[in-house]
Homo-oligomer: A and B are copies of this chain.
Amino acid sequence: MKKAMVVFSGGQDSTTCLFWAKKHFDDVIAISFDYGQRHRDELDCAKAIANDLNVEHKIIDASILGQLTENALTRDSIDIEEGESYPTTFVEGRNHMFLLMAAIVGKQLDAKHLVTGVSEADYSGYPDCRDNFIKSMNVTMNLSMDENFVIHTPLMFLSKSEVWKLSDELDALDYVRENTLTCYEGVIADGCGQCPACELRQNGLNEYLAEKEGVFIEQ
């Protein structure tokens, strides 16, 4: 009985990972982090997808991330007012933290396979999305918890077009296209069409569909 926990945001990549995990493991749990995302819709979207796929879904309040930003650190962190919104500034080490939380929860739920949709290709180049970090983290978390976690990164070396191809192979292309949220403006499915995230997603999709139909697109 192989059980996996998928780090899950409700976006294209992690949703593709969720389909991938459902194919490769006997039991799959999704874990999401609530840390003051740009759009609360992201979490609603994640909930809806987990529900559609009949996957158990844990949502962790990760507002701790907001506390660790420089803004928050300029005052006494412990004095942040209840209900005050946390800054959503990017926090270095964020994926590192998410993976660690997933491992801590995974250990308790007997899910030793951890799946994350991070990728070295096409992306922003955050160091904690790179393969060398993931490998090192796998060793470190096993040492820290006396466990044999295996971190799976099915998208690590895939371009956006190849991620679409993978979802197609998993018979999930249409579902992913229609139900995931990537857009900076919070528009589900094909999004606003204008922001960099939409552009990346749409270009990848066009490239894959053209390739599938045997059409050559000049890059």
Contacts and interface: CB of A to CB of B under 8 A. Distances in A.
A151 to B, nearest CB: 12
Interface residues of A, number: 45
Contacts of A91: 104
A133 B144 contact: yes
B101 A100 contact: no
A136 B145 contact: no
Contacts of A95: 144
A139 B136 contact: yes
A78 B73 CA distance: 25
Contacts of A34: 78
Contact of A140 (B58, B109, B136): B136
Interface in A61-78: 61-62, 64, 67-70, 73, 76-78
Interface stretch (A124-132, A160-168, A190-198, A204-212): A124-132
Contacts of A139: 136, 140
A124 to B, nearest CB: 13
A158 interface: no
B133 A68 contact: no
A68 B105 contact: yes
A3 interface: no
Nearest to A105: B68
B64 A61 contact: yes
Contacts of A101: 64, 68, 97
Interface string A137-178: 101110111100000000000000000000000000000000
A80 B61 contact: yes
Interface of A: 34, 58-62, 64, 67-70, 73, 76-78, 80, 82, 91-93, 95-97, 100-101, 103-105, 107-109, 127-128, 130, 132-133, 136-137, 139-141, 143-146
5 contacts: A69-B108, A92-B104, A96-B144, A97-B100, A128-B145
Given A96-B144, A127-B146, A128-B143, 9 more contacts: A60-B67, A68-B104, A73-B109, A93-B104, A97-B101, A100-B100, A127-B144, A127-B145, A132-B143
